[in-house]
Amino acid sequence: MKVKIKNIYPKITVLILMLIFFSFGFFHLTKFETVDEHFWKDKRIKKYWRGIELGFTKGHWKKTRINDKPGVTVAIVSGTGLLFEPNPETNRLRDSNITQDGLYTVYNSNRTEKINLTFRLPLLLFNTFFFLILFWLLLKIIPPPYALIATIFIATSPILIGISQIINPDTLLWTFFTGALLSYFALLKNNQKKFLWLTILFTGLALLSKYTANIIFPLFVFIFLIKIFIDYRKTNNRSFDFSKYLKKYIFNWFAILAGAILIYGIIMPASLEKTKHLWNGTINSPALAPIFWPLIFFLILLLLETIFLKNNFSKKIIKFLQRYKQLIFKLTSLIALTLFLFILINPLLPNPIIPLINVKENAFVDKELLFPMLDGHSLLAKTIIKLAIEAGPFVFSLSPIIIFLLLALWTRIIFKGLHNNQLLVFFITFFIPTYFAMLLFVGVLANPRYSIVLYPLIAILSALSIQEFFPDLRKKLSKQIIIVIILIISGLFSLWNIKPFYLNYENFLLPQKYILTDAWGYGEYEAAQYLNSLPNPEKITIWSDRSAICQFIKGKCIRNYKIDLSKTIPDYLVFSRRGSIRHKFEWEKENLAPHNIFYYYKQKPIWEIQIGRR
């Protein structure tokens, strides 16, 4: 009986987790609008499928390239909605009599939620069912209890649920990127060809989701080098063919590169018709271009050294580094631990060292990430603070239990070394600060969406932390079930507290007076509902610094930032926090205005909503 429960309960738990993920994701699914989503709904998704049609009928594949991201996987999955809503673009009314020659933006608000459901639901369902693949892959690389725990952390992540609700390349990027990495780890551990094919497939699909996925190619090299470094004592004997072992890794890497690019070309044929799109979407993408040719040079050099010198030189380097292996593990953990502690302690200081107020608004000068508020600091101090600014939104978007597990794991490694799951633990620990350093290098200010690929990895690392402290869970079923129940309840608590504004999740370790995350269009629907509840809502005219509300109100939106009072007088002004800082309205003719614009920004609102109670 006990054996039967042990075999069945993980499967039932995964199904429960899928239900949790889907249920929270489905709640409020239609009742918000994020930036740029209308481009996908109204144009890009339909354009891709029109491109496929033109390709097969006339041989013209140009339209299959819909964006530089490129977001093709989103168009494929979300595009199933076209079967039920073939003309979503008609939701915006273009009749000049209604818009008064473009003075107003007007939508058929009765259709908005149906359109959102039609195009968002396929993405949410896809990510929900992908948990079956993720759990199966996790079982191939870590023991079952900890694979299940990792799945719990992924399925109850507010950020991953939130991103799975929107029509955006990042929605499927995290799914395929994680699938590719786990397949590669499974390949290294099990040496089965099916995992090579899965790595190729998921890497290709990740590239078709967003060009950011190209960072996975140097990661694969880094991972197999860590593997060689960690396994050196096992492989360093005369009976073991080290050169053959290394050549296999190198050839697999080139196979993954070639296979992923081939998938990219087949699914987006425009890139084969015009090869610059293939080039710019893969090898020459912003994420890979600076390192690609040095990487190729390194691999060719390594291959030549393997063929002609039988790795005598590389073996000496690895052998030399072996004596510092635990030191490397400890230093990496120390860096990650210090970064997290610095970020967590900073808001509690009377005068925080890391800026926490309007960071995004103050960090840019003419659209360039320069951090002028850090002028006066030394170069070293400025670099450390910049790195902390980049990582801050990510750290505070993790659940407290995950943060505790990470800090405990890194502390243990610093004092006792790393002896279990060395490849996974070291890679993820190293990758976290490195990822934010890369964003800093390319001039991108991180937010949870830009860090989306880290959340599944952090979930896995947290599960491995539990393995470090509770290594006997595989043998003790009752203890295993208790921990699983506690973690699910903890995850549900976080989700319940932030619902339905999942992408704005910030844990209680960040004082409520601080906000590090944008609103993602949340609250616009609620504002529209208030306006629609007023008498004669069809006659209401508003001005808003965010256009999302226009899709939900029954009235009209003034289109321009400048309001011409000789043509129209708004009944209500709708302000968002960030819009009030960056996108204030202007009077076209100030002499007609009863007050200057700053008067309105100082008034107490007649209705407001605070996302996440912040």
pLDDT digits (tens, 9 = 90+) for 437-467: 999 998 999 999 999 999 999 999 999 999 9
407, pLDDT greater than 60: yes
Name the pLDDT band for 1 (thresholds 50, 70, 90). low
Residue 114 inside a domain? The answer is: no
Whether the CB-CB separation of 469 and 146 falls below 8 Å is answered with no
Asked if 413 and 531 sit in the same domain, the reply is no
Asked if 434 and 482 sit in the same domain, the reply is yes
Q: How does strand 556-558 pair with strand 572-574?
A: unpaired
Beta pairing partners, 574: 544
609, pLDDT greater than 90: yes
In tens, the pLDDT along 132-165 reads 999 999 999 999 999 999 999 999 999 999 999 9
Residue 543 inside a domain? The answer is: yes
Last residue of a domain, one of 504, 533, 556: 504
67, pLDDT greater than 90: yes
Residue 536 inside a domain? The answer is: yes
Distance (Å) of CA 224 to CA 187, 190, 243, 248:
10, 14, 14, 10
Last residue of a domain, one of 504, 536, 560: 504
Q: How does strand 541-544 pair with strand 572-574?
A: parallel
Asked if 345 and 422 sit in the same domain, the reply is yes
- pLDDT given for residue 519 in this prediction: 67
Residue 82 inside a domain? The answer is: no
Asked if 486 and 577 sit in the same domain, the reply is no
Asked if 477 and 528 sit in the same domain, the reply is no
* Mean pLDDT, range 238-249, rounded to an integer: 83
Asked if 488 and 572 sit in the same domain, the reply is no
Asked if 497 and 547 sit in the same domain, the reply is no
Whether the CB-CB separation of 390 and 443 falls below 8 Å is answered with no
Residue 35 inside a domain? The answer is: no
How many CA atoms lie within 13 Å of 551's alpha carbon, on the beta-carbon side? Answer: 27
Whether the CB-CB separation of 151 and 184 falls below 8 Å is answered with no
Residue 608 inside a domain? The answer is: yes
Helix (H) or strand (E) holding 65: none
One-letter identity of residue 73: T
Asked if 494 and 605 sit in the same domain, the reply is no
Asked if 311 and 258 sit in the same domain, the reply is yes
Full domain range(s) for residue 606: 524-613
Residue 100 inside a domain? The answer is: no
The per-residue b/e assignment along 363-402, b for 16 or more CB within 10 angstroms, e otherwise, is beeeeebebeebeeeeeeeeebbbbbbbbbbbbbbbbebb
Residue 570 inside a domain? The answer is: yes
Last residue of a domain, one of 469, 504, 539: 504
- pLDDT given for residue 239 in this prediction: 67
- pLDDT given for residue 561 in this prediction: 87
- pLDDT given for residue 529 in this prediction: 97
If one compares 411 and 518, the residue with the highest pLDDT of the two is 411
Asked if 408 and 533 sit in the same domain, the reply is no
2, pLDDT greater than 70: no
Asked if 498 and 548 sit in the same domain, the reply is no
311, pLDDT greater than 90: no
Residue 368 three-state SS = strand
Number of structural domains, the chain?
2
Asked if 498 and 537 sit in the same domain, the reply is no
In tens, the pLDDT along 313-335 reads 888 898 899 999 999 999 999 99
Residue 20 is encoded by which pair of tokens? 């949790």
- Per-chain mean pLDDT for the chain: 94
C-alpha dihedral, 77 to 81 to 82 to 84, nearest 10°: 150
